[in-house]
């Protein structure tokens, strides 16, 4: 398989952070435990999928959509897929999905979960261990959609990572990213409270210095010839124990604090002249 041949040619990568990979590898057996160390990610996943679906359905509104499989005929890349939470969701909606992660343990967990579920036999879903820039060697401009959710804070070279992501998408293709803003509020809520006090996520999962602001993100994407960049805040309600998108009618949006902590964004790669 050409993916395997390609990966063997690479011994290291400038975006791969071995400490980050090791961190998640040590708890990879809990990826599919909705009450385990990835509980918050399980709770966030439906909101992320809903956002992706709404953006893509709006973009494809001129074409006939299969309501049960709206992503049919779309080739989708889930970069930093981990154990495959998002990848499986996108494949169930009809997408031809490739899940990619730099961690061997994570990819093995994702593959195993697919094999163990008989309902996944007919999904167009594959996994490969690689980084974004490694994948560019064989998959340049091959994808209609790319998702890089909760991954950018865990890579070493954010600029190279984003460039590689854009390179992997076809002209006029859609990219999705989600991460955490670098603000006093995010430091308090995601590190001090969620990580160190409430233990909602394992200690060491987040590092404040690695967060990226929407302004920084937009600047990078503009340099990479992306357009239609739009940001939406995400917020966790501990009373309801669920995530939701911040709407324009919400108080946080009205006071300009909708992107203060977690956010998700979409953009489009410009058409080549």
Confidence label for 5 from pLDDT (cuts 50, 70 and 90)? very low
Residue 100 confidence (pLDDT): 97
Across the range 65-92, mean pLDDT stands at 92
99 is in an annotated binding site: no
Please say if the pLDDT value at position 235 is more than 70. yes
Q: What is the pLDDT of residues 144-177, one digit of tens each?
A: 999 999 999 999 899 999 999 999 999 999 999 9
Known binding residue 153? Answer is yes
156 is in an annotated binding site: no
Tens of pLDDT, residue by residue over 194-205, are: 888 988 888 888
* pLDDT exceeds cutoff 60 at 60: yes
pLDDT score recorded for residue 10 = 40
Tell me what the mean pLDDT of segment 37-55 comes to. Answer: 95
pLDDT band at 21 (very low <50, low <70, confident <90, very high): confident
Name which residue leads in pLDDT, 97 or 30.
97
pLDDT class of 216 with cuts at 50, 70, 90:
very high
Q: What pLDDT does residue 109 have? A: 94
Strand pairing of 75-79 and 143-149? parallel
- Categorize the per-residue pLDDT at 2 as very low, low, confident or very high, splitting at 50, 70 and 90: very low
Residue 270 has pLDDT above 50, yes or no: yes
Q: State residue 47's pLDDT score.
A: 97
Average pLDDT, the chain: 89
Q: Is 154 among the annotated ligand-binding positions? A: yes
- pLDDT on residue 15: 84
Q: Which CATH number fits domain 2-182+210-269: 3.40.50.150, 3.40.190.10, 3.30.450.20, 3.40.50.620?
A: 3.40.50.150
Report how far residue 81's alpha carbon sits from residue 72's, in angstroms, rounded to the nearest whole number: 20
Edge-first strand listing for the sheet containing 226-237: 125-129, 96-101, 75-79, 143-149, 169-180, 262-269, 226-237, 242-245
* In the block, residue with structure tokens 């994948």: 135
For the whole model, what pTM was predicted?
0.90
Beta bridge partners of 57: none
- CA–CA gap between residue 188 and residue 65 (Å, rounded): 43
On whether the CB atoms of residues 95 and 66 are closer than 8 A, the answer is no
pLDDT of 267: 98
Residue 85 assigned as binding residue? no
pLDDT mean over 65-93: 93
pLDDT at 186 over 70: yes
| Amino acid 61: pLDDT | 78
Judge whether 265 is annotated as a binding position: no
pLDDT grade for 7, boundaries at 50, 70 and 90:
very low
- Is 48 annotated in a binding site? The answer is yes
Residue 6 has pLDDT above 50, yes or no: no
At 64, the pLDDT band (50, 70, 90 cuts) reads: low
Domain boundaries, the chain: 2-182+210-269
Report whether 266 contacts 227 (CB < 8 A): no
As a whole number of Å, the CA-based R_g of the chain is 18
pLDDT attached to residue 126 = 97
Statement: residue 1 has pLDDT above 50: no
Give the residue, 88 or 194, on which the prediction is more confident.
88
């Amino acid at each position: 398989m050409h993916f395997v041949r390609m990966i063997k040619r690479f011994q290291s990568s400038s975006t791969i952070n071995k400490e980050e990979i090791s961190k998640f590898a040590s708890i990879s057996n809990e990826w599919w435990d909705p009450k385990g160390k990835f509980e918050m990610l399980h709770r966030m996943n439906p909101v992320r999928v809903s956002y992706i679906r709404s953006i893509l359905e709006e973009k494809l509104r001129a074409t006939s959509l299969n309501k049960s499989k709206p992503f049919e005929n779309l080739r989708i890349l889930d970069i930093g897929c981990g154990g495959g939470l998002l990848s499986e969701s996108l494949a169930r909606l009809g997408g031809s999905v490739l899940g990619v992660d730099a961690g061997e343990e994570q990819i093995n967990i994702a593959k195993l979960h697919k094999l163990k579920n008989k309902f996944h036999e007919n999904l167009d879903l594959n996994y490969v261990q690689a980084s974004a820039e490694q994948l560019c060697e064989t998959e340049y401009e091959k994808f209609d959609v790319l998702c890089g959710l909760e991954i950018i804070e865990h890579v070493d070279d954010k600029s190279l990572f984003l460039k590689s992501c854009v390179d992997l998408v076809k002209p006029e293709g859609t990219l999705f990213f989600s991460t955490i803003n670098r603000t006093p509020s995010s430091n308090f809520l995601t590190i001090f409270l969620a990580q160190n006090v409430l233990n909602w996520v394992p200690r060491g999962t987040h590092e404040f210095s690695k967060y990226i602001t929407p302004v920084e993100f937009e600047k990078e994407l503009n340099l990479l010839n992306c357009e239609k960049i739009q940001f939406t805040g995400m917020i966790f309600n501990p009373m309801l124990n669920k995530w939701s998108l911040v709407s324009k009618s919400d108080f946080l949006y009205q006071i300009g604090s909708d992107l203060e902590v977690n956010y998700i964004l979409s953009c489009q790669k410009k058409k080549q002249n």
